[in-house]
Amino acid sequence: MADKDSIKETHNYYLDIPMKSEPFILRGSNSLDWGMKNRLLNIFCPDTGRTVMLAVDHGYFLGPTTGLERMDVTIVPLLPYADTLMCTRGILRSIIPPTFTKGVVLRSSGGPSILKELSNEEIAVDIEDAIRLNVAALAVQVFVGGEYETKSIHNMTRLVDVGNRYGIPVLGVTAVGKELVRDAKYMRLATRICAELGASYVKTYYVADGFETVTASCPVPIVIAGGKKLQELDALRMAYDAVQQGAAGVDMGRNVFQSEAPSAIIQALRKVVHENMAPEEAHDLYLTLKKEKK
Ligand code: 5RP
C-alpha cells in the first residue's frame, strides 16, 4: 500500500504552457481516431509523412513470379529497409519473421488468377484474422472501369466499414485493366472514387503528364506502384517526380525485387522519398551499394 505520509501536496499545472493541439501529418486524416492514426504512422514515417512500402503480394494472382520464388531468400533481407510490407496473410505467416515490427499492409482481396477475369475479386480475409495478425492496414483492389467495377468498389466499402469499426485503415489500390488508358484523367477518377468512398489512402500509377492534378484532387495520401521493371535510374526518377508532385511515397515491388541489387535500390529509393535526393545522386548511391554488395 502507498505510504500516505509521503504524498506531496504541491502540484505543478504548468499554467504558463498552453496545451498543444497539433495537426496530423497526413493529409485528410485529421478527423481519424487515435488507433487509425497510430496505425497509419506504422506505414508513413512520422518525420516525413512519406513511406517506402515494399509490395510483395503479387503471388495472390500471379503465383511465384520472378523475384518472389523464394521470398525467405529474396525478401526477408530487404525488410530492414522498408517502412512497411504489403503482402498476403499466407506469406506473412509462413515467411515473415514476427520480429518485423513495422507496419504490415495486408492484401485483403483476391479470387481470380491471371487465367481469369482479374476484376472479379472478393474480400479474401476476415477482419478477426487481420486483427490477429496485428496489421496496419487492409489493401483492396478497385477496378474502376473494369468488368466487375461495382463489386470491387463494394469490396472496398465493406472493408472500410469493418476497418472503421476496429481502427484499421484501408488502402484502395487502383487497378488499371489492359483495355483502359493509364492517364491523369483516369487516375483522377479512380483515386477520387477510392477517397470519396472511405479509403484512408490510395495507391495508383505515376503518369508523366498531369500527375500533380491526381494528387491535388485526391483528399487523402497517394502512393505510387512501380509497375513493370524499369532501369534503376528511371525507377528513381519516377519516384522522385511522384513525391515532388505530391505523392506520399511509393509502394514498389518489381522495381525492387527484380533489380540486380534489390537492397541497393531500396536504400536509394529511401533517400529519394524521405530526403528528396535527386535521382542521379541516388543512382550513384545505388551503384556504390551494389558494388559493395550492401
Ligand atoms: C498487385 C499489387 C502490387 O502490390 C502493385 O502492383 C505494386 O507492385 P509493382 O511495383 O510491382 O507494380 O497491388 O496487384
Enclosing domain of residue 251: 26-291
3-state secondary structure of 215: helix
pTM: 0.95
Would you please indicate which residues are annotated as catalytic (active-site) residues?
A: 203
Is 110 part of any domain?
yes
The residue-averaged pLDDT of 79-91 equals: 98
> The domain spanning residue 163 has which CATH number?
3.20.20.70
Is 18 part of any domain?
no
- Mean per-residue pLDDT of the chain: 96
pLDDT over threshold 90, residue 78: yes
- How many angstroms does the Cα of residue 204 sit away from the middle of ligand 1? 9
- How many domains does one find in the chain? 1
Backbone angles phi, psi at 41, to 5 degrees: -80, 0
In whole angstroms, what is the distance from residue 276 CA to residue 258 CA?
24
Query: What is the DSSP track for 121-185?
Result: -EE-S-HHHHHHTT-SEEEEEE-TTSTTHHHHHHHHHHHHHHHHHHT--EEEEE---TTS--SHH
In whole angstroms, what is the distance from residue 87 CA to residue 108 CA?
9
Is 228 part of any domain?
yes
Is 136 part of any domain?
yes
Q: How far does Cα 280 stand from its chain's mean position?
A: 25
Each residue's pLDDT tens digit, 117-147: 999 999 999 999 999 999 999 999 999 999 9
Is 2 part of any domain?
no
Grade residue 179 by pLDDT with cuts at 50, 70 and 90.
Answer: confident
% pLDDT > 70, the chain: 97
Residue identifier of the C-alpha nearest atom 4 of ligand 1: 55
Pick the atom of ligand 1 nearest to 254's CA: 11
Report how far apart, in Å, the C-alpha atoms of 199 and of each of 153, 159, 188 are. Answer: 11, 9, 14
Each residue's pLDDT tens digit, 145-175: 999 999 999 999 999 999 999 999 999 999 9
Instruction: Provide the pLDDT for residue 6.
Output: 66
Grade residue 3 by pLDDT with cuts at 50, 70 and 90.
Answer: low
Is 266 part of any domain?
yes
- How many angstroms does the Cα of residue 203 sit away from the middle of ligand 1? 9
Is 81 part of any domain?
yes
Instruction: Provide the pLDDT for residue 120.
Output: 96
pLDDT over threshold 70, residue 16: yes
Pick the atom of ligand 1 nearest to 55's CA: 4
Is 58 a pocket residue for ligand 1 (Cβ < 6 Å)?
yes
C-alpha cell at 190: 479512380
Is 124 part of any domain?
yes
